A and B are shown apart, each in its own frame.
Chain A
Amino acid sequence: SQKIEQNSEALNIQEGKTATLTCNYTNYSPAYLQWYRQDPGRGPVFLLLIRENEKEKRKERLKVTFDTTLKQSLFHITASQPADSATYLCAHQAGTALIFGKGTTLSVSS
C-alpha cells in the first residue's frame, strides 16, 4: 500500500540554525508533494507544493526538494526563529484525498 512517512516525530534546534525535515514515500510515485504547517489547536496551513519534475522549490526562508530516486522530500527552514515552532506535515494525493504523514514537531529555542 502507498505509505508516506515522516521519520522524526520531534526536532529541536537553536534559533538561527537550519531545520531539515524528511518525508519518505514507498510503493508509489506521487506527481507532487505538499507541505503544511499546523499550530496547536488549529488546522493545517499550506506552505509549498513541489512537483515530481521539480528538483527544488523556494519560498522566503523555506526550501523543499524532491528526489524521486531516493523517494524523499526534504523541507528546510533557514535562519530558524522561535515563531517557526510548529508541526510540519507532508502530504500526497491519492485519488481524491490528500494522505498526510504524521508530522514532525519542530521546536526552535532562542
Chain B
Amino acid sequence: GAGVSQSPSNKVTEKGKDVELRCDPISGHTALYWYRQRLGQGLEFLIYFQGNSAPDKSGLPSDRFSAERTGESVSTLTIQRTQQEDSAVYLCASSFGTSADTQYFGPGTRLTVL
C-alpha cells in the first residue's frame, strides 16, 4: 500500500473494556507516531517510535495506555479499562527518519466508549 493504514476505522466499546488499535506505516519509514484528536481539538502527541530505540512515551496520558512496535513495521496502541474520556480519533503517522521529517498520517480510528 502507498500510505499509512489503520484498523479498525471505527470502534465502539463499553466502558471498562480493553481495545487494540493497529497501524501499518509506510514501508521504509523508521519513525512512527501516535496522536489523539478529541472532537474539535488539535492533535495530542501520545508516543513516538524510532527504529530500535526506546520509544518516547512522554505523551501517554495514563498507565492504561501502552503501545508496541515490531521492528520498523506494525504498531498497536492498547487502551486498558477504557473510559468515556478516551473517546477520540486516534491517528498514526510515519516518517522516513528524524522527527523533523514530514509526517504521513493514516485515516485514524474513531473510538467511542459508551
A interface residues (Cβ-Cβ under 8 A, vs B): 32, 34, 41-46, 49, 89, 91, 93, 95-103
Contact = CB atoms under 8 A, between A and B. Distances in A.
Contact of B41 (A45, A49, A102): A102
A99 B48 CA distance: 13
Interface in B44-92: 45, 48, 50, 56, 58-59, 91
Given A96-B56, A97-B56, A43 B100 contact: no
B105 A96 contact: no
**Chain A interface mostly helix, strand, loop or mixed?**
strand
B105 A97 contact: no
Contacts of B107: 41-43
Interface residues of B: mostly helix, strand, loop or mixed?
loop
Question: Which of B33, B102, B103: most chain A CB closer than 10 A?
Answer: B103
Given A100-B42, A101-B42, A93 B105 contact: no
Nearest to A44: B105
Contacts of A95: 56, 58, 99
Given A43-B91, A43-B93, A98 B41 contact: no
B4 A43 contact: yes
B45 A99 contact: yes
A26 B42 CA distance: 17
A34 B104 CA distance: 13
